[in-house]
């Protein structure tokens, strides 16, 4: 008897139309950074060439991300699938206002770091892979912001983590190895927890596509498994974001690498954790977020106060900056805790602001070290006389990180406080304001000691101390140091003076997260 031949028609699950040119903007940043990393490795024996390769590629990435954000704002959420398989079978890249905005901001910060590193990273460290690691770090961060698949998010986390491990130990100093161990262990634990949670989620809903997950979890109506998964995801991403009480690794490790490396870490890595929390807790599991709202709010306040008080207690400027990173993470968590449209838009605005301000502040610390030869608040002083422009830049950046007007941090905190009051969570608003006051005191102390005071702590008021031996004069500072600082400071001032555009993007992003109809429609009923 002849066997029956079965034919399966899979055309319904396949992409049959040509991919529009605009959709290629989704994957262009990832492809460009991958190519840039590979090209940089090819030129590893030509350290003078590597910076220009990186700067050229990252500039193209910025242009691509500008085009992507413009396309999203004009046409809505955009999706592209891999391998010609329709979602949920194929891996999707999906850009909404949140992902497109953060991808653009991350590429701008990375460009500034690439330029700054021309003067601050030795040729030997370029040969050991600084620029290839930097390109692959941006690749992982951008992939995380633009992926529409939760397991693919884990993959991009791995890409950026491996790159960050390599950057952490450039220089091969004992203190760097010690910091790298603390950094790696906690992040690997968080990544393992993320992977385990994703496995459980797949067992529950049978899909890894975020749009599909958002639709299918509605049927569970906040059941026990969904709430348990929300708690697991919150713990995993809170560890990556350096939220209280699992944030001790950040101040123990961020002062150990080269400052230009710490700048990109402070600007990008913790924000990927916050982004993942926004994506999972607000878009995928809103019932879980509602259930955990009070806990997230308490964690947010504890994180803010830990960061602000920690900054007040420091005499090492590098550690002080690490605690400012933590305080900012708490503010973003406060927006997630409140969860209404105003608060979530505040968290998105603050995420964008934090990428720029923390990158700029760490670059400022590197500049201050070149001018003074020290990281100690007890020994530094007199920088206002030696570099008035540097003092003005420092004042602007420190006021911005404290959330004072008219700079970008003010509008982010205003949205967060307004959202908290609108939701009758005055205790969250109070925590944000108290933390802001403590941060203002901490950064005011830093500016007075480093710039306004005539010399070290033993200098009598009104007396100008002699320059520290081995320090640089302002006229000796390279353009590659000044340019990133001026660019980032200008952006922070412009966003503060003209906040309407960023506020509208953040508001659009919040609406897309809270009501996923457009997101789901793009994946299953949009251009595909």
Element (H, E) at 50: helix 50-75
Ranges of H-type helices in 278-424: 286-313, 317-338, 341-372, 383-386, 388-402, 408-422
pLDDT at 1: 46
Cα angle: 298, vertex 271, 55; to 5 degrees: 165
pTM of the model: 0.92
- Which residues lie closer than 8 Å to 120 by C-beta, 6 or more apart? 258, 259, 260, 366, 481
**Long-range contacts of residues 171-174, Cβ cutoff 8 Å, at least 24 apart:** 171/125, 171/257, 171/258, 173/256
pLDDT given at position 86: 75
Tell me what pLDDT residue 526 has: 45
| Alpha helix stretches (DSSP H) within 169-223 | 174-205, 210-216
Q: Which two tokens stand for residue 186?
A: 């906690």
Q: d(Cα 249, Cα 167) in Å, to the nearest integer?
A: 17
CA distance 277 to 314: 29
Residue boundaries of the structural domains of the chain: 20-525
Nearest to 176 by CA among 258, 234, 110, 99: 258
What would the pLDDT profile of 336-386 be if each residue is shown by its tens digit?
999 999 999 999 999 999 999 999 999 999 999 988 888 888 888 888 888
Of residues 14, 226, 33, 3, the one with CA closest to residue 111: 33
Instruction: Output the pLDDT for position 8.
Output: 47
CA 103/CA 16 separation, integer angstroms: 29
pLDDT of the residue at 11: 53
Cα 166 to its chain centre, rounded Å, is 19
Handedness of CA 100, 103, 104, 105 (dihedral sign): positive
Tell me how far apart the alpha carbons of residues 180 and 88 are, in angstroms, rounded to a whole number: 37
Q: Are 57 and 503 in contact (CB under 8 A)?
A: no
Helices within 207-316 (DSSP H only):
210-216, 224-241, 249-253, 259-264, 270-277, 286-313
Looking at residue 386, what is its pLDDT? 86
Residue that the structure tokens 């309407």 belong to: 500
pLDDT of residue 528: 38
Structure-block tokens of residue 285? 């599991």
Q: What is the residue-wise DSSP string for 468-507?
A: PTTPPPGGGS-HHHHHHHHHHHHHHHHHHHS-HHHHHHHH
Closest CA to 366 of 451, 242, 482: 482
**Please, what sign has the CA dihedral across residues 375, 376, 379, 382?**
positive
Sign of CA dihedral 222, 228, 233, 234: positive
Residues of the chain with pLDDT under 70: 1-22, 83, 123-127, 222, 457-476, 525-528
85: β partners = 14
Distance CA 153, CA 176 (A): 28
CA 144 – CA 348 distance, rounded (Å): 16
Residue 437 confidence (pLDDT): 96
Supply φ then ψ for residue 85, to 5 degrees.
Answer: -95, 130
Positive or negative torsion for Cα 509, 487, 480, 442? negative
Q: Do residues 492 and 360 lie in contact, with contact meaning Cβ atoms separated by under 8 Å?
A: yes
Cα gap 322→306, rounded to integer Å:
11
DSSP state string for 507-521: HHHHHHHHSTHHHHH
């Amino acid at each position: 008897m002849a066997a029956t031949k079965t034919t399966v028609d899979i055309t319904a699950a396949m992409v049959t139309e040509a991919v529009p040119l605009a959709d290629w903007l989704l994957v262009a940043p990832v492809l460009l950074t991958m190519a840039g990393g590979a090209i940089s490795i090819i030129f590893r024996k030509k350290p003078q060439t590597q910076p220009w390769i990186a700067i050229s590629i990252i500039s193209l990435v910025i242009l691509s991300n500008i085009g992507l954000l413009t396309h999203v704002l004009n046409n809505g959420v955009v999706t592209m699938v891999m391998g010609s398989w329709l979602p949920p079978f194929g891996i999707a890249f999906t850009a909404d206002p949140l992902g497109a905005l953060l991808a653009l901001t991350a590429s701008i910060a990375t460009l500034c770091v690439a330029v700054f590193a021309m003067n601050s990273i030795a040729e030997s460290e370029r040969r050991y892979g600084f620029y290839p690691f930097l390109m692959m770090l941006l690749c992982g961060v951008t992939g995380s912001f633009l992926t529409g698949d939760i397991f693919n998010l884990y993959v991009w986390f791995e890409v950026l983590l491996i790159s960050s491990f390599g950057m952490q130990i450039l220089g091969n100093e004992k203190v760097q190895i010690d910091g790298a161990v603390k950094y790696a262990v906690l992040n690997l634990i968080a990544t393992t927890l993320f992977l385990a949670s994703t496995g459980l989620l797949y067992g529950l809903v049978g899909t890894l596509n975020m749009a599909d997950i958002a639709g299918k979890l509605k049927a569970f109506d906040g059941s026990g498994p969904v709430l348990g998964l929300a708690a697991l995801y919150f713990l995993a991403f809170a560890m990556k974001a350096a939220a209280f009480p699992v944030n001790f690794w950040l101040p123990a490790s961020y002062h150990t690498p080269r400052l230009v490396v710490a700048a990109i870490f402070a600007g990008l890595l913790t924000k990927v954790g916050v982004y993942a929390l926004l994506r999972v807790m607000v878009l995928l599991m809103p019932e879980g977020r509602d259930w955990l709202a009070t806990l997230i709010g308490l964690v947010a306040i504890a994180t803010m106060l830990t960061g602000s008080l920690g900054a007040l207690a420091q005499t090492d400027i590098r550690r002080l900056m690490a605690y400012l990173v933590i305080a900012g993470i708490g503010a973003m968590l406060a927006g997630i805790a409140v969860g209404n449209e105003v608060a979530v838009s505040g968290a998105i605005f603050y995420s964008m602001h934090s990428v720029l301000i923390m990158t700029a502040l760490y670059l400022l610390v590197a500049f201050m070290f070149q001018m003074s030869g020290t990281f100690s608040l007890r020994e530094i002083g007199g920088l206002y006389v030696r570099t008035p422009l540097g003092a003005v830049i420092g004042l602007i950046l420190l006021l911005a990180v404290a959330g004072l007007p008219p700079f970008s941090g003010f509008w982010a905190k205003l949205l967060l406080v307004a959202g908290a009051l609108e939701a009758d969570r005055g205790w969250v608003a109070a925590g944000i304001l108290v933390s802001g006051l403590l941060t203002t005191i901490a950064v005011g102390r830093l500016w007075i000691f480093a710039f306004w005071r005539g010399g070290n702590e033993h200098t009598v008021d009104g007396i100008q101390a002699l320059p520290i031996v081995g320090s640089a004069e302002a006229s000796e500072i390279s353009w590659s140091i000044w340019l990133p600082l001026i660019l980032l400071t200008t952006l922070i001032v412009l966003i503060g003076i003209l906040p309407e555009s960023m506020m509208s993007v953040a508001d659009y992003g919040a609406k897309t997260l809270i009501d996923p109809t457009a997101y789901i429609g793009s994946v299953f009923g949009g251009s595909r």
